[in-house]
Amino acid sequence: MSANRIRFFALLAISLVFLLAWAFPVVWSMLNSLKTDRDALAYPPKLIFSPTLEAYRDVLFGSGSILPNLISSMVISVGTTIVTMLMAVPAAYALARLRFRGKKFAGFYVLATQMLPPVGIIIPYFLVLRNIGWIDTYQGIILIYLSFSLPFAIWLLVSYFEDIPFEMEEAAYLDGASRLRTLWRIIIPQVRGGIAVTIVFVFLNAWNEFLFAVVLSGNTVRPVTVAMFNFVSVEQTLWAKLAAVSVLAMLPVVVLGVVAQKHIVKGLTVGAVKGGGRR
């Protein structure tokens, strides 16, 4: 066997190992979500079993339905994404294209906020929200999520704005376009891929967040990441129902990824085909 074929099969084997390691938790959750609680607890694990949707029926329409929690997660994630993007796009544009005093400090300040460990700031956040009566409210959780999603979105978008040639913007000014019109008509269409990528990541961060949610939420607003613990107790863990909730929680993320796939690929590769526009 030639050296090239040996290298090919070695790379193929390594790729399969990584693929199996990545897919195992997802496959495990999907298989257990189709089992009864007894089959899910069986040891050794049952690979051949009679599939049932009993776990899905219980978690969606049973006494402990997670539908309100899924709605809470969706409202929080969509709200956080919308508010974040409305603020991040103009802020990133300003950092990337404008010249003003304190620009470097502003950029460093935005970056520095990402260095704060969440566990170190959660108590001040809790006290502030409690004093203004925003504990266990959508606006309170979205406000806190905004504190870490906005700096992340700004820094992600800055690189896309910097890759746009200044000549394109200057040509619009020569044609009489205002800065706002240039931003809306010329610049934003050029960074649609980057905006799509940022939207996906901001949504994912908000959807998957747990630490702030478990502290700042309550009986009124409880995201699905917190509600999953309803199926875990000292006496037992309802693995089939827990797996069903996990699969349901993954669905919106998968749908978003599939819908935005074209823009995500374009956004991730845009930096490789543009350049030379920085000043």
Encoded tokens for 122: 């959660």
pLDDT number for residue 270: 57
Encoded tokens for 187: 């610049």
> How many CB atoms lie under 10 A from the CB of residue 188?
15
Phi-psi category of residue 51: left, alpha or beta, with phi > 0 → left and psi -120 to 50 → alpha: beta
- Mark out the alpha helices in 175-260 (DSSP H runs): 179-182, 188-190, 192-208, 211-216, 224-227, 239-259
Q: Are 202 and 149 in contact (CB under 8 A)?
A: yes
Q: Residue for token digits 């009679």?
A: 50
pLDDT in tens, 221-254: 999 999 988 888 877 888 899 999 999 999 988 8
The Cα–Cα gap between 64 and 67 comes to: 9
Taking the model in full, what pTM does it have? Answer: 0.83
Cα-to-chain-centroid distance, residue 193: 16
Q: Are 252 and 74 in contact (CB under 8 A)?
A: yes
pLDDT in tens, 66-79: 999 999 999 999 99
Peptide bond into 44 cis (omega under 30): yes
Q: What is the DSSP letter of 136?
A: T
CATH topology of domain 64-231: MetI-like fold (1.10.3720)
The single-letter code of the amino acid at 57 is R
The single-letter code of the amino acid at 25 is P
Within the chain, which residues score under 50 in pLDDT?
A: 272-273, 275-279
pLDDT number for residue 267: 62
Residues in CB range of 203: below 8 A, 6 or more apart:
77, 78, 80, 81, 253, 256
pLDDT number for residue 2: 74
pLDDT number for residue 273: 47
Q: Are 30 and 53 in contact (CB under 8 A)?
A: no
Q: Give the phi and the psi of residue 237 in degrees, each rounded to 5.
A: -120, 125
